[in-house]
Structures are given as structure tokens and as C-alpha cells.
């Protein structure tokens, strides 16, 4: 197909000058492939209901890079051709059967390459959209969130459903974010722990409310919280609550806990710390009348306009719907309740919590020391190896020293026992300036009815008017729960 001396007279089919050498030709196919992949990915992005941040990297970084690599090859080929580095030059004479065969072969290969590009782009798209990609591809940084996610009620909801969602504005934002994150991972510049709350998280309206929306909330939830005291007998201590979750519209007047996100009212607040744990100012606006009520902590005299005023949404209470790191106390209680840790082992509650809570630098160190500590605590116990294995599992599921992540760095705002949660506002200190109204905090049965307390059959004796909370000897009304309950050993 090529001849050292081109014979002008036989007028072979001449390729454009550009493509008279193999290098440029391959470069051209490569460049075409990347344009093709770009268009295809772009179309996928445009027409699918949501896209994910990493797609942006493929579309706007990887595909153009391949395109430029193709261009570069073309120029290298031209340069080589010019200085006779590649000889012989490429000439195709379609009258020659060998040339025809070669050309068809080349065209087939090029077509195959394009098809492979299309298939590859689509596969890559699917992969970057998957939970495996988000959760495991930059292994260490996402490990805590991914592990917690697998144990959450949302384990079958894709990361992108909450973190990206649909719409043009967020599309662009998430593109920028994805590139930014990739740079962080490559340069090792990852915050440890990854900050929470996520600063530019999409509003709940567009994420959570795709699947749960306030108008559909109904009624109350009956939930039992099982605990064990840190005494020698691991005394059971359970509380059965009827949580007045309430509803927001279609099924009756807005009421109960979900009143905050009902359609009739807007609740706004300012927080003076990055984790939104200190909330000294709250404003409620009745949407129909426009009337506002401002509640203020009496110690707060600053001008609210100096702070970001946020509208309360799902994530202000459900701060860890998918990434909840259990406190050592809760992790141990859950394992005892599930029968994974033997309740009859003396002081097992206290010893497991102590083994989990000791400061460890790495997970490996924790694994070794948990084993040695429990072996020291129970030299005679036959089942100690099982206990060690279970405790190590609890640790791996909830503690991530490599990312400095555990329940302390990621508080759950749903209750009030180990993080301020509801009591950030419902603490008796948030009043209107005239002192006449207060954010309700005077009654333990405001948000839940304590149906029963104790253990075994006692938990079935329900008192629908609500019983008083029976605490241990420690006074629980004079202080906030978090003054004593840290999630580890209570003071």
C-alpha cells in the first residue's frame, strides 16, 4: 500500500496531507473517539434525571485531554513526516487489492475503537454513579461514611440521590465540587474528619423530599430504647416512648415534631458555631399572615444580621440519616440487646465501653489493645475470644481513628441525651423579648409520651397519659442531659 516513490501519474487516492502517516492517522482516530465519547457522555448527562460530580471530570477533563493527546499525535506525525523521520510515507492506491484490504481493516478497527469508546464511556458513567464508586474508590476518606451508610435505613438509597439530585444549578455546583474533591484526594489534602455539616449540601426540599415529604407524615412512633447500666450486673434500663412525630398537612393540621417543616410555618435560626450546636436566635414566620415571632437566648445580644440566617429543614434534626456513628454506650447496648454480647458476663457493659473508648491512633492498634484489655479483664472467661471479636467489630463499624471520625465529631441532632439536639432550642432559655412566650421546654411529655419503663413485662404496661421518667439517683431535671451523658461512661 505504500511505495517509496509516489507515482503522480497513476493518481492514487491521496489522503489529505495530514493523514499521510500512521502516527497522524492513529492520532486522528483517537481525537475522533474522544469527541465521540464527549458527545455521548454529555448527552447522558443532559438526559438522565440526575448526574454525579465525577461525571464532570470525565466530560470536561478526561475527554478533552484525550482529544488533545490525539491532536498532539497528529502533529508529531506531521513533524516526523516533514523531517522524513517516518518513511515510507503513506499512500493508498485503491486499485491495489492489498491496499483495499488494509484500508477496510483499518476502518473496521477504527469503528471498533469508537464502539469500545462508547461502551467504555457508558460503563464509566454507570460506575461513577454507583455507591461502590462513591463509597470505596477513594478508600480512606469515605470509609467512615460508607461503613455507617451500610448500616443505615438508607443502605439501598444511592449516595447521589441525597448528595447530588437534579437541576441545572446543582449540576454545575456538583461538577465544580467533584473536581475540587478529586484534587484534594490526589494531593492528600483531605480534612480529617471530613467536615459536618456539609456546607453546601442541597436543601432537603430537593433531596429527602423526593422520597419523604411532610404532607404525608402521620401520627406517632412507638419506640423502645434499651440500655444497660455500668454496674456489675449490667442492670437493664429501658424506656418506651411514643414519639409525637405528627404531620404536616394532608392528614390533619400540622402538629407534633414535624411541625417545624410543615407548610404553614417557616422556622429560621442562626448558629454561632460551625457545627450548628449553639442556636441563640430563632424566628418563626406564619406564611399565611406573615406574622413573626422571635425567640432569643437571654445571653445573646448580638445583631442577628451578622450571622447566616438558615431555614430549618430535615437535616437540622436528621443530621445523620445515613452516616450515624454510634457512641460506645449505644453500640454496646445495641450489641447486648441483640444477644451478640452476653448479658450475664459481670460488668461486661462497663468493660466493653472502656475498651472502645480508650484513645487509639490507628485501627490496628485498637484491635490489639481491645484484645489485650478484655483478656486482662476476663482471664477466666471461656467465651472471651467471641467477646473480643464482637467488640472489635463494634469498633470497626463506628470508630475511624485514621479519619479522626466518631460520634463526637458527627453529632446526631435527633434527640437530646448525648448531643444538645432538640434542646438547642427547647431548653427553657429561648423566649420572646417580652418574656411572654417560650419555645416549649416545660414538660417531658411535650415531644414524647413516656409509655413505660423498666424491663421485661414492665415495658408492656402502657400508660397512655405518660409516666414520669424514672432516672437513676442522679438529678436529671436540674441539668441538661449532655452535662452528664457524653456517650461513653456517664458521670
- Biggest alpha carbon distance in the chain? 109
Stretch 13-32: interaction string toward ligand HEC, x if CB under 6 A: --------------------
As measured in angstroms, the least distance from the Cβ of 374 to ligand HEC is 18
Q: Sign of dihedral through CA atoms 152, 156, 160, 165?
A: negative
Contact status: 375 vs ligand HEC (CB under 6 A): no
As measured in angstroms, the least distance from the Cβ of 256 to ligand HEC is 5
Binding piece for ligand HEC, criterion CB under 6 A, among 10-18, 110-118, 318-326, 384-392: 318-326
Per the CB < 8 A criterion, the answer to whether 78 and 38 are in contact is: no
Binding piece for ligand HEC, criterion CB under 6 A, among 68-76, 108-116, 226-234, 297-305: 226-234
Contact residue for ligand HEC among 267, 270, 388, 403 (CB under 6 A): 267
Binding to ligand HEC (CB under 6 A): which residues in 402-441? 410, 414-417, 421-422, 424-426, 439-441
Q: Is 102 left (phi over 0), alpha (psi -120 to 50) or beta?
A: alpha
Contact residue for ligand HEC among 95, 293, 362, 455 (CB under 6 A): 293
Axis crossing angle, helix 22-47 with helix 97-128, rounded to the nearest 10: 30
Comparison of 230 and 373: residue with beta carbon closer to ligand HEC: 230
Contact status: 278 vs ligand HEC (CB under 6 A): no
As measured in angstroms, the least distance from the Cβ of 204 to ligand HEC is 5
Distance from C-alpha of 80 to C-alpha of 27, rounded to nearest angstrom: 13
Binding piece for ligand HEC, criterion CB under 6 A, among 32-40, 56-64, 225-233, 355-363: 225-233
- Size of site (CB under 6 A) for ligand HEC: 95
| Cell numbers for 319 | 443530621
User: What contacts 311, CB < 8 A, 6 or more positions away?
Assistant: 266, 267, 268
Contact status: 108 vs ligand HEC (CB under 6 A): no
Contact status: 182 vs ligand HEC (CB under 6 A): no
Comparison of 98 and 199: residue with beta carbon closer to ligand HEC: 199
Binding to ligand HEC (CB under 6 A): which residues in 227-256? 227, 229-230, 237, 239, 241, 243-245, 255-256
Distance from C-alpha of 82 to C-alpha of 86, rounded to nearest angstrom: 9
Distances in Å between the Cα of 390 and the Cα atoms of 43, 148, 332, 360 are 49, 17, 10, 18
Comparison of 29 and 312: residue with beta carbon closer to ligand HEC: 312
As measured in angstroms, the least distance from the Cβ of 338 to ligand HEC is 16
Contact residue for ligand HEC among 91, 143, 175, 260 (CB under 6 A): 260
Binding to ligand HEC (CB under 6 A): which residues in 117-136? 131, 134-135
Contact residue for ligand HEC among 81, 258, 281, 403 (CB under 6 A): 258
Nearest of 61, 60, 66, 59 to residue 31 by alpha carbon: 66
Distance from C-alpha of 16 to C-alpha of 11, rounded to nearest angstrom: 14
Contact residue for ligand HEC among 125, 295, 400, 407 (CB under 6 A): 295
Distance from C-alpha of 320 to C-alpha of 168, rounded to nearest angstrom: 26
Binding piece for ligand HEC, criterion CB under 6 A, among 97-105, 166-174, 375-383, 443-451: 443-451
Contact residue for ligand HEC among 321, 392, 403, 486 (CB under 6 A): 321
Contact status: 161 vs ligand HEC (CB under 6 A): yes
Per the CB < 8 A criterion, the answer to whether 33 and 113 are in contact is: yes
Residue ranges of alpha helices (H) inside 378-439 are 384-398
Stretch 191-220: interaction string toward ligand HEC, x if CB under 6 A: ---x-xxx--x--x--xxxxxx-x--x---
Contact status: 180 vs ligand HEC (CB under 6 A): no
**Distance, C-alpha 309 to centroid of its chain:** 24
Binding to ligand HEC (CB under 6 A): which residues in 470-489? 471-472, 474-477, 479, 481, 483-485
Distance from C-alpha of 350 to C-alpha of 225, rounded to nearest angstrom: 18
Nearest of 218, 196, 214 to residue 205 by alpha carbon: 214
Phi/psi for 440 (5° steps) reads: -50, 130
As measured in angstroms, the least distance from the Cβ of 45 to ligand HEC is 20
Nearest of 293, 214, 221 to residue 261 by alpha carbon: 214
Cis peptide leading into residue 88 (ω within 30°): yes
Contact status: 463 vs ligand HEC (CB under 6 A): no
Distance from C-alpha of 151 to C-alpha of 144, rounded to nearest angstrom: 11
Comparison of 188 and 379: residue with beta carbon closer to ligand HEC: 188
Amino acid at each position: 500500500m505504500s511505495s517509496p516513490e509516489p507515482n503522480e501519474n497513476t493518481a492514487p487516492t491521496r489522503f489529505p496531507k495530514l493523514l499521510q502517516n500512521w502516527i497522524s492517522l492513529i492520532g486522528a482516530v483517537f481525537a475522533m473517539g474522544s469527541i465521540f465519547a464527549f458527545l455521548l457522555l454529555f448527552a447522558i448527562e443532559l438526559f438522565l434525571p440526575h448526574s454525579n460530580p465525577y461525571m464532570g471530570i470525565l466530560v470536561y477533563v478526561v475527554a478533552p485531554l484525550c482529544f488533545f493527546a490525539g491532536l498532539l499525535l497528529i502533529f508529531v506525525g506531521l513533524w516526523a513526516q516533514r523531517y522524513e523521520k517516518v518513511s515510507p510515507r503513506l499512500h493508498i492506491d485503491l486499485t491495489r487489492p492489498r491496499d483495499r484490504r488494509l484500508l477496510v481493516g483499518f476502518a473496521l478497527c477504527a469503528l471498533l475503537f469508537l464502539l469500545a469508546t462508547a461502551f467504555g464511556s457508558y460503563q464509566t458513567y454507570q460506575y461513577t454513579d454507583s455507591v461502590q464508586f462513591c463509597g470505596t474508590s477513594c478508600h480512606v476518606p469515605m470509609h467512615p461514611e460508607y461503613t455507617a451508610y451500610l448500616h443505615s435505613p438508607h443502605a439501598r438509597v444511592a449516595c447521589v440521590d441525597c448528595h447530588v439530585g437534579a437541576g441545572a444549578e446543582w449540576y454545575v455546583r456538583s461538577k465544580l465540587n467533584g473536581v475540587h474533591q478529586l484534587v484534594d484526594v490526589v494531593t492528600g489534602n483531605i480534612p480529617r474528619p471530613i467536615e459536618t455539616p456539609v456546607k453546601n449540601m442541597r436543601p432537603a426540599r430537593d433531596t429527602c423530599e423526593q422520597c419523604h415529604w411532610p404532607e404525608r407524615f402521620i401520627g406517632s412512633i412507638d419506640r423502645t430504647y434499651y440500655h444497660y447500666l455500668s454496674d456489675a450486673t449490667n442492670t437493664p434500663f429501658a424506656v418506651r416512648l411514643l414519639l409525637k412525630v405528627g404531620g404536616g398537612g394532608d392528614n390533619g393540621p400540622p402538629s407534633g415534631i414535624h411541625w417545624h417543616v410543615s407548610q404553614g410555618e417557616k422556622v429560621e435560626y442562626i448558629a454561632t458555631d460551625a457545627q450548628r450546636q449553639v442556636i441563640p436566635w430563632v424566628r418563626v414566620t406564619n406564611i399565611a399572615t406573615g406574622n413573626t415571632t422571635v425567640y432569643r437566648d437571654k445571653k445573646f445580644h448580638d445583631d442577628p444580621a451578622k450571622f447566616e440566617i438558615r431555614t430549618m429543614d430535615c437535616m437540622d434534626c436528621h443530621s445523620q440519616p445515613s452516616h450515624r456513628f454510634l457512641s460506645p454506650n449505644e453500640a454496646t447496648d445495641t450489641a447486648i440487646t441483640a444477644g451478640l454480647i452476653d448479658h450475664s458476663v459481670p460488668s461486661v457493659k462497663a468493660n466493653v465501653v472502656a475498651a472502645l473508648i480508650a484513645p487509639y491512633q490507628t485501627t490496628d492498634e485498637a484491635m490489639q489493645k481491645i484484645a489485650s484489655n478484655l483478656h486482662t479483664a476476663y482471664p477466666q472467661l471461656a467465651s472471651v475470644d467471641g467477646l473480643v471479636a464482637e467488640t472489635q467489630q463494634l469498633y470497626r463499624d463506628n470508630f475511624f481513628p485514621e479519619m479522626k471520625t466518631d460520634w463526637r465529631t458527627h453529632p446526631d441532632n435527633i434527640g437530646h441525651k448525648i448531643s444538645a439536639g432538640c434542646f438547642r432550642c427547647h431548653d427553657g432559655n429561648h423566649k420572646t423579648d417580652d418574656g411572654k412566650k417560650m419555645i416549649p421546654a416545660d414538660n417531658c411529655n411535650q415531644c414524647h409520651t413516656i409509655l413505660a419503663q423498666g424491663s421485661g413485662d414492665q415495658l408492656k404496661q402502657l400508660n397512655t397519659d405518660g409516666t414520669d421518667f424514672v432516672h437513676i439517683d442522679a438529678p436529671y431535671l436540674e441539668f441538661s442531659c449532655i452535662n452528664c451523658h457524653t456517650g461513653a461512661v456517664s458521670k
